[in-house]
Amino acid sequence: RAFEKLLEKETISAQIKNSFVLDMINLYRNHHEKLSTPEFARELHTILKGYTNNHDPYKPKNKKSNILALEMASEMQEIINKSSDPFTTALRLAIAGNIIDFAANQNFDLKETINRSLTSHFAIDHSEKLRSAVKSAESVLYLGDNAGEIVFDKLFIKTMNHRNMTFAVRGMPVINDATLEDADLVGMSELAKIISNGYDAPSTLIEKSSEEFRNYFNKADLIIAKGQGNLEGLLSLEDNRIFFLLMVKCEVMAEFLQVEKGSFVVFNSSGFGGTNQSGNNSLKNIAEIVTCEFASGNLHLTDGKFELGLLKYGDGN
């Protein structure tokens, strides 16, 4: 859906739009066994930027996301201040912020999600383990996800009040993920050192990241990773320092984690019990998970079967 929305917005011909779809198919056909889901998304975004001559097509929506979240920050801070358990409340709000995702959903209801986050149980709940880890860690690395969402991360970081906090963003614009520009706009440097991971995949891929980022990653006592993208890139590491915080946004991920779609999740890698249909707890195979990113009736690449809704732009041939 993310790429279809951009194609609808960009003033390019139906022929070029169909060419992009065919490139997408060929990318999957030729590389689906080699590329992880984040790498697949990165390659698609690179192809799209080439067709549109726009290196950051999501920039206007990212700015809108940041402004939307900043307008709510004072209200959210008041909720945290009045809470009998500020840590848990701020954690819940940080996960609720994961709904700010114009790439996956143009019509999200942020206020409804916030209200639900304050009362719903965590489908996977390692929050007390996270609380203890924050207290004992000498250094914390917080891996951001989407623009706008990082305002809610900032509230959680403020509540944690850790003396050695580093906040990491993507190396370059990719879809609606947060960059250094977004972190600067929301004032993240007031509470944490900001670094880039040095790469433009919508995830954290250690082997492709910059040396600076790898140094921070390797030395961190605790790593907090937001969103499905970071989960896709890091879960296979089975690193017990990593806690994943996310809202489950699609059926494929829900099945993998063995929770309901829309669930709030906080879990530590060492305590993960989810599995895919093959019994493997890895998300390396994009055929298992790519529908999360490009499904919703527009493009299905699961199990090698194609349904090309995007071809409606041309003559369907």
Locate the domains of the chain by residue range. 2-57+283-313, 65-271
- 109 exposed, middle or buried (CB, 10 Å; 0-12, 13-18, 19+)? exposed
pLDDT of 293 reads 45
Q: Give pLDDT, residue 281.
A: 46
pLDDT of residue 273: 53
| 292: number of Cβ within 10 Å | 24
Q: Which pTM does this prediction carry?
A: 0.83
The span from the CA of 12 to the CA of 51, in Å, is 8
Which residues lie closer than 8 Å to 195 by C-beta, 6 or more apart? 166, 167, 168, 169, 212, 213, 216
Contact 118, 79 (CB under 8 A): yes
Write down the pLDDT at residue 267.
92
Per-residue model confidence (pLDDT) at position 291: 40
pLDDT of residue 1: 55
Specify the CATH number of the domain 65-271: 3.40.50.10880
| Dihedral sign computed on CA atoms, order 40, 41, 43, 47 | positive
> What is the reported pLDDT for 249?
83
Residues β-bridged to residue 146: 177
How many other CB atoms sit within 10 Å of the CB of residue 237? 14
C-alpha count within 13 angstroms, C-beta hemisphere, residue 154: 28
pLDDT at 308: 38
Q: Name residues whose C-beta falls within 8 Å of residue 153's C-beta, 6 or more positions apart in sequence.
A: 94, 97, 142, 144, 167, 188, 226
Q: Whole-angstrom Cα distance, residue 157 to residue 186?
A: 13
Written as tens digits, the pLDDT of the chain (317 aa) is 566 666 666 566 777 778 877 888 888 888 877 888 888 889 888 888 888 788 888 898 899 999 989 999 999 999 999 999 999 999 999 999 888 764 445 556 777 878 888 888 899 999 999 999 999 999 999 999 999 999 999 999 999 999 999 999 999 999 899 999 999 999 999 999 999 999 999 999 999 999 999 999 999 999 999 999 999 899 889 999 999 999 998 888 888 899 999 899 999 977 565 544 334 444 444 444 444 444 333 344 333 333 433 333 333 34
